[in-house]
Structure 1
Amino acid sequence: MRDSQTIVILTGAGISAESGIATFRGPGGLWEGHRVEDVCTPEALADDPVLVHRFYDARRAALAAVAPNAAHRALARLQAADRHDVMLVTQNVDDLHERGGAAQVLHMHGQLLSALCARCGAHTGWAGDMPPGTRCPACGAPALRPDIVFFGEMPYSMDAIEAALARADLFVSIGTSGAVYPAAGFVQIAAHHGARTLELNLEPSAGTAWFDEARHGPAGVLVPAWVEELLAG
């Protein structure tokens, strides 16, 4: 491989689990004690907006109690080293990559610290509670909702992600289940265009067989070791 590479990195819940953030689907298919269908679908928001808004208010407030771990900081070092063209894509809605020092992060599933206006589509930074009927700072409509991509909605920036996968030399998946599409298909897109593919995960994912190489263990151990290896090469 040439010295400078175009690298697309996808991170999932596994990279933040070591910081104390629950993975999306825990025992029994629950997320923080709730059925995913009750808190992460457009239908849930329409049927019980109080529950959905309170759920994300609590998730937003809980961010203050967690901190980036060694894996987040290692990926920030990789970006900062400027040795490679690195696109960092995350399925996570937390801000741990940013607090770990990453300069550029693409949140394909949205962000807890953002509000979306259902009326005008404006995105607004948001750190506090957001009860139903909160007014949009941009248009004034009482239509703010969590800026989270619910099941059944289109993830953000798919065109940019797919274009990056098509030109990547290396695709790395970190802490993902390999079971949620479209992200689960990124390895196949990258491989189709000739990229090498690497999985770093606590255990084999549903898509491990698609990768050229898979390393299994804690993200806080595997990711810093891989970054040091890459920067030393």
Structure 2
Amino acid sequence: MEKNTSSKTNGPGKISRMFLTLYDVGAFVTRFFKEAFLPPYEIKELVNQCYNIGYQSLILISTTGFITGVVFTKQSRPSLAEFGATSWLPSLVAIALLRTLAPLLTALIAAGKVGSSIGAELGSMRVTEQIDAMEVSATNPFKFLVSTRVMATTITIPILSFYTALVGMLGALLNVSLSEGTSAKAFFLSALESITFLDITASTIRSIIYGFTIGIVGCYQGYNSSKGTEGVGKAANSAVVIGMFLVFLEEVITVQFFSLFRTV
């Protein structure tokens, strides 16, 4: 009887904590939209965060994008060769990179690299009471720390996404040139011919959503981390895990949404 009673009391407790967490997240997101678009504007810090995010991810994104372009081209050639359609290879790579691979790869790399960095940085500031000190000194820590970082990820991730697509196309060009002797001009003309305005728009919107998600998750976990060094590690780990999970979830939803426009 005691075990049954304890299980019943623990159940509602977990459910109530879940709803409290959802409420806190909703309040956090709402506060961001209130703080981000009201003066004073932290333009200098926003530019600094954009630079840091791009600089931190540039080498890893460049390497990953280039390898993805090479490998995807190499793996796709045998399938197209069976139908005598190797001339479609540039178009296939361009569509795959711009529609799916580039935004998703960039978001996953940023979730691991940038999300963990934001979570750990804000978590350590919370543990060392730097955020509390900013509040005492009449500084708005939410606007300076959270709003600038979320806006920076929202701005920077789409730029990095198109950069990933470009680097991936260069990797594909290298593979095609070595295998078939295709010139760079012919390769890019064939690739860009298959790209539509809807592809560019969908890729941009998805990247913006991913960037906002990564920034808001990292900031929420770090800003609300528990006291102690253990809380800093937990905030960084949660920022990566939750950020990646939400990116995959948003990938499924956005792909289904934009596929409706392609069938029209």
Give TM-score scaled by structure 1 length.
Answer: 0.26
More strand by share: 1
